Amino acid sequence: MSETDVVDVLILSNGPGELSTWVRPVVAALQSHQSPQLRIRISVVLSPCPHATGQEVKLAQSIPGVTRVQGPQAFFPFLLWGKTVDHWNWHKQGIVLFLGGDQFFPVVIGKRLGYPVVIYAEWETRWHAWVDRFAVMNADLIPKAPQLHRHKFTIVGDIMADSQIALNQQTAPLPLGIGAELIGLLPGSKPAKLMQGVPLMIAIAQSLHTQRPQTEFIIPVAPTLDLKTLAKYARAKHNPLVKELGGMSAKLVTPEEELPYLETKTGLKIKLWTQSPAYDVLAQCSLCFTTVGANTAELGALAIPMVVLLPTYQLDAMRAWDGLPGVLVNLPLVGSGFARVINWFVSRQKRLFAWPNIWAKEEVVPELVGKLQPDAVAEIALNWLEHPDKRLAIRSRLQQIRGKPGASKKIASILLEQLQATKP
């Protein structure tokens, strides 16, 4: 490349999980290649996502190295006509990288901009004739592709495993006011999960606190969620499930020189961690309670023992499904009925939901489904805390299945190779 090379990298993504666990590490890897001889401008375009919270643009803008972001509401005009809402200009040389959404989108956009296309894929690959390179999670995807296009495939591993890099780099002391026995609570970020997850996890924490008052608790607050909104789900006035789970409401307290926290009438304080990503504080947790989703992948990559909760107090509450079920449960008027039927069916299936379990094809970490009883769930954590060897065994197993970090660096290398190969 010449001394004046300036290239565009357009990243297509969609949901909060992809932004946190895929886009962030890849952007960091690309940033390491910035130099006086090569300037990389990184743009993120978001497509609509059923799991979106409405804060994805803000989250994407917060990623160091991202120059500009376009939200999902302007996606289809861009797909159809190739014009962004802010009339972005594009350099002559560039590349489109797919990190979430529909694999058809990068094919169309790459043709419109005249850029080569690279797709990162976990489970399937499509549009082989029109994609220049595939960066795949494992070798299983290669035999599924047409023989003619298999040369385009490179095994890079799981981008989520790059969370381990953050763990290795954590040298900071525990945050102010946090003790040595720390439990993380990850109730999710979407209303359907928060409605059930927040009161359930508060009730679990209260049960544990009664038996082990030295134990402390922290919620790594999703970057798309503000504290006042989170706190509403902890109050019986705003969330009827608080009463169903023992009536343990909590109020938001925001001291000037300490971490904010939720406080119950018994004096239990659950600290709130607002920095993102929260790898530094998660790395110091003895264990975590979490909902399903990208949380389980991040915790698995960090090798943090976890208990995965799928409460079903409201069968029509969980509407965060992919594909046709996701469409049906979100239909006006009839969506609630579809949600109850689908969730009833799913809750009775013997399938795995947490990513580490899916990867291992076995239940490495417990998945609890149903109308969960806080005291019974707390007993699992109590057993782990009293027998550290059990947590150590889970941590060791998670380390075995998560894969080695480095996928984001390999993807960055693929992008640079492709740019060099297609240089005018």
Query: Which structure tokens are listed for 382?
Result: 């109590």
Burial of 123 (0-12, 13-18, 19+ CB in 10 A): exposed
Q: Which residue has the tokens 């009339």?
A: 87
**d(Cα 182, Cα 217) in Å, to the nearest integer?**
6
Instruction: Divide the 424 residues of the chain into consecutive groups of 10 and give the mean pLDDT of each group.
Output: 77 86 92 89 92 81 95 94 93 96 95 96 93 93 95 91 56 59 92 90 96 95 90 94 87 92 95 85 93 85 91 55 48 55 57 84 91 94 96 92 84 95 81
CA 311 from centre of chain:
19
**d(Cα 2, Cα 383) in Å, to the nearest integer?**
61
Inter-residue contact 364 to 398 (CB < 8 Å): yes
Alpha helices in 147-226 (DSSP H): 163-168, 191-211
Q: Collapse the DSSP code of 300 into the 3-class scheme (helix H, G, I; strand E, B; otherwise coil) and give the result.
A: helix
Inter-residue contact 25 to 162 (CB < 8 Å): yes
CATH architecture type of domain 5-157+406-421: 3-Layer(aba) Sandwich (3.40)
Q: Where in the chain is the domain with CATH 3.40.50.2000?
A: 5-157+406-421, 169-401
Q: Residue 417: CB partners within 8 Å, gap ≥ 6?
A: none
What CATH number is given for 169-401 in this structure?
Answer: 3.40.50.2000
Strands 287-290 and 38-46: unpaired
Inter-residue contact 283 to 302 (CB < 8 Å): yes
**d(Cα 121, Cα 138) in Å, to the nearest integer?**
9
Query: Which structure tokens are listed for 247?
Result: 């009536």
Q: What is the pTM of this model?
A: 0.71
pLDDT digits (tens, 9 = 90+) for 17-75: 788 889 999 999 999 998 888 899 999 999 998 767 777 898 899 899 999 999 999 99
CA proximity to 185, closest of 204, 207, 172, 166: 204
Q: Which amino acid is at 284?
A: Q
pLDDT digits (tens, 9 = 90+) for 245-297: 887 899 999 998 889 999 999 999 999 999 877 887 888 899 999 998 878 88
